[in-house]
Amino acid sequence: MKSKLPPGLTALLEVGVMFLPAIPAYLWLWPNVEGASAWIANSLSDLYAIAGSLVIGLRRWSLDELGVNRKGLWLGLACGLAIVTGRTLVILSVDWNLPPPQLSPLRLVGEFVFDFALVGIGQELLFRGLIYRAFEDWRGTRWAIWGSSICFGFWHLGGGPLIIIATALYGLIFALLRWRTGGILGAILVHGLMDFAGTLLLPNTDVVSLGRPNIANLSWMIFGLVLIIAPPIYLWLFYPRAKSSFPR
SS (H, E, C) the chain: CCCCCCHHHHHHHHHHHHCCCHHHHHHHHHHHCCCHHHHHHHHHHHHHHHHHHHHHHCCCCCCCCCCCCCCCHHHHHHHHHHHHHHHHHHHHCEECCCCCCCCCHHHHHHHHHHHHHHHHHHHHHHHHHHHHHHHHHHHCHHHHHHHHHHHHHHHCHHHCHHHHHHHHHHHHHHHHHHHHHCCCHHHHHHHHHHHHHHHHHCCCCCHHHHCCCEECCHHHHHHHHHHHHHHHHHHHHCCCHHHCCCCC
Residue 19 Ramachandran class (φ > 0 left, ψ -120 to 50 alpha, else beta): alpha
Q: Is the dihedral of CA 176, 179, 180, 181 positive or negative?
A: positive
Looking at residue 2, what is its pLDDT? 56
Q: Is the dihedral of CA 12, 17, 21, 23 positive or negative?
A: positive
Q: Are 119 and 191 in contact (CB under 8 A)?
A: yes
pLDDT, one tens digit per residue, over 77-100 is 898 899 999 999 998 998 877 777
Domain boundary assignment for the chain: 7-243
Looking at residue 103, what is its pLDDT? 78
Looking at residue 243, what is its pLDDT? 46
Looking at residue 205, what is its pLDDT? 61
Looking at residue 168, what is its pLDDT? 92
pLDDT, one tens digit per residue, over 105-133 is 888 898 899 999 999 999 999 999 999 99
pLDDT in tens, the chain (248 residues): 455 888 999 999 999 998 887 777 777 776 677 777 878 888 888 899 999 999 999 999 999 999 999 888 888 889 889 999 999 999 899 887 777 777 788 888 988 999 999 999 999 999 999 999 999 999 999 999 999 999 999 888 776 788 888 899 999 999 998 999 889 998 999 999 998 988 888 766 666 666 667 888 999 999 999 999 999 898 888 876 434 444 55
Q: How far, in Å, CA of 88 to CA of 244, rounded? A: 31
| Identity of the residue numbered 26 | Y
